[in-house]
Amino acid sequence: MTAFDPPPEKSNVGMVPPPRISDARPPHGASHDIFFAAVQTTRMPMIVTDPHQPDNPIIFCNEAFTFMTGYTEEEIVGSNCRFLQGPETDREVVDQLRAAILKREEIAVEVLNYRKNGSTFWNALFVSPVFDQSGELLYFFGSQLDISRRREAEEALHEAQKMEAVGKLTGGIAHDFNNLLQVILGYVDILEARVGQEDRSARRAIEAIATSASRGATLTQQLLAFARKQELRDRLLNFNSLIADFRPIIDRTAGEGVTVRRHLDDHLWNCRIDPVQAEMALQNIIANARDVVGDGGSIAIETRNIVLPDDDEPAGQKLAAGEYVVVTITDNGPGIDPAIVDKVFDPFFTTKEMGKGTGLGLAMVYGFMRQSGGLATVRNEAEGGARFSLFFPRASGSVAGKAAPVSRQQDGGRERVLMVEDQADVGELGREMLRDLGYDVTLAMNARQALDVLQGDPHYQLLFTDVLMPGGMNGVALANAVKRDYPHTGVLLTTGFADEAIDEGARSYELIRKPYRRADLNERIRQVLDKPGART
């Protein structure tokens, strides 16, 4: 066996160690005394192993090595180096080390090792044989360096580059793609309202078109979430309340054969997040857990408060120190293969069969958490199963009570709507949908034309405008001008594009994302028009 063989079933850590190096090593002279003295005093973690003893044990280590690993000298000396290995240690790297040891060659590698407390660190390891003057092998010398911070910086840079690439790709296609989906879904709703219930064949066709278009819209939204380009409308809330309100959907997502347990901290802090995106993230994780555990399995949802880095969580390596609300979802399944545990949040990565998953659900979760100032992590539990953790920054303030439901009409009451849309096909669809809902609609192709219409006739109850438009004035700027000059006209924005600057400016107004459905559009319009003080 070599110094880097896989761990045996029973570790030799804790066995009676062999004599110290002063007793164990043969007296080779002053040069060797200087060698060991230098190893002892250096600040770089170093060890010496004896290939002449069975299992090539460590016969010497310096204090820097004990400090880095957390083990005492008594636990280290007499043990093979493999005690630093763990489930996520790359076996190919271990094989490279083993081969170099057998050939008595130098080797330098980077390997994931484990401290005594179970935490991991990236180890830059250099191993070299030590020969005497006659060429006989005396020892193997190993110097190490904890390079975890450098690896984390490299991973952060790689992630940032990946985010930028995906963001450019997604942001570029989202606007045009969502406009296409808007036309498809819009006319699906119009057809559905006009096709009789008895025409089952036509209604099945309409339903199939709507389902496929909705899946396309979901894919775009998931890509935007992963790239952190989605618009977040956060508010102060307590996650316990969100879980309680979301209970029927959680139970339905888990399925009848799966037991869902909740362990919620009664003194949970508040956080500021987008509740809709938070619910989607929770639903995605639970859906993945359901697929793993199957009937008879169980899923546990837990909330708690945590202070980083004092609580010694791995998330402390990627999050700023501070107070966080942690939501964990744990299942009793077989866990995640250690070889892929670091890839589960990557876009399009999936272990499901072809056609059963897109590989974007967990990627969306990760993107949403990072955009919210938090983090999503995953690890395997020692007793089995996977544990997903969502870290939300704590927010100050009091959670507002639930607003009373707004009484609104089922459809339009002939209010006048000025719709602004530069895409002709989308504009024609929107005018048709609004007229179908009972509104009196005027369509303008750009912001300047809309202002001209209002100047000649200011009696419009609603401005319904796209955000991204050519001509030097976008929808947000148009909304600001209308709010200034026609304060009694309500504003509803829509967009299929995602841009932080535009989204920030749009926060003052109600917004509906493309592609929207007929019922959703009417609901948003009524929210604007039926607010107290709105002109009808």
Residues 113 and 158 in one domain: no
Is the Cβ–Cβ distance between 525 and 441 less than 8 Å?
A: no
- pLDDT at site 181: 86
Residues 140 and 188 in one domain: no
Q: How many domains does the chain have?
A: 4
Is the Cβ–Cβ distance between 495 and 448 less than 8 Å?
A: no
Residue ranges of the chain with per-residue pLDDT less than 70 = 1-35, 159-160, 162-172, 175, 219, 221-233, 311-317, 347-360, 397-413, 497-505, 532-536
Residues 139 and 162 in one domain: no
- pLDDT at site 166: 64
From 118, 146, 174, give the residue that closes a domain: 146
How far is Cα 41 from Cα 99, in angstroms, rounded to an integer? Answer: 30
Its pTM stands at 0.47
HEC assignment per residue over 287-330: HHHHHHHCCCCEEEEEEEEEEECCCCCHHHHCCCCEEEEEEEEE
How far is Cα 518 from Cα 500, in angstroms, rounded to an integer? Answer: 27
Residues 135 and 256 in one domain: no
Residues 210 and 245 in one domain: no
How far is Cα 324 from Cα 151, in angstroms, rounded to an integer? Answer: 25
In a domain, 524, yes or no: yes
- pLDDT at site 451: 95
Residues 380 and 254 in one domain: yes
Angle at 257 between CA 253 and CA 258, to 5 degrees: 60
Q: Which residues pair with 512 in a beta bridge?
A: 494
Domain residue limits at 333: 239-393
Residues 266 and 292 in one domain: yes
- pLDDT at site 405: 43
- pLDDT at site 518: 87
Residues 456-488 have pLDDT tens digits of: 999 999 999 998 887 788 899 999 999 999 999
Residues 257 and 380 in one domain: yes
Residues 179 and 74 in one domain: no
Residues 427-463 have pLDDT tens digits of: 999 999 999 889 999 999 999 999 999 999 999 999 9
- pLDDT at site 487: 92
- pLDDT at site 170: 65
Distances (CA, A) of 176 to 169, 228, 425, 470, 492: 12, 19, 12, 14, 20
Residues 168 and 284 in one domain: no
- pLDDT at site 362: 82
Report which of 374, 399, 251, 265 is spatially closest to residue 322, judged by C-alpha positions: 374
Distances (CA, A) of 264 to 157, 268, 375: 36, 8, 20
Half-sphere exposure of residue 225: CA atoms within 13 angstroms, side-chain side: 25
Is the Cβ–Cβ distance between 171 and 227 less than 8 Å?
A: yes
In the numeric block, which tokens belong to residue 192? Answer: 């559905």
- pLDDT at site 353: 56
Q: How remote is the C-alpha of 26 from its chain's centroid?
A: 56
Residues 29 and 112 in one domain: yes
Residues 139 and 163 in one domain: no
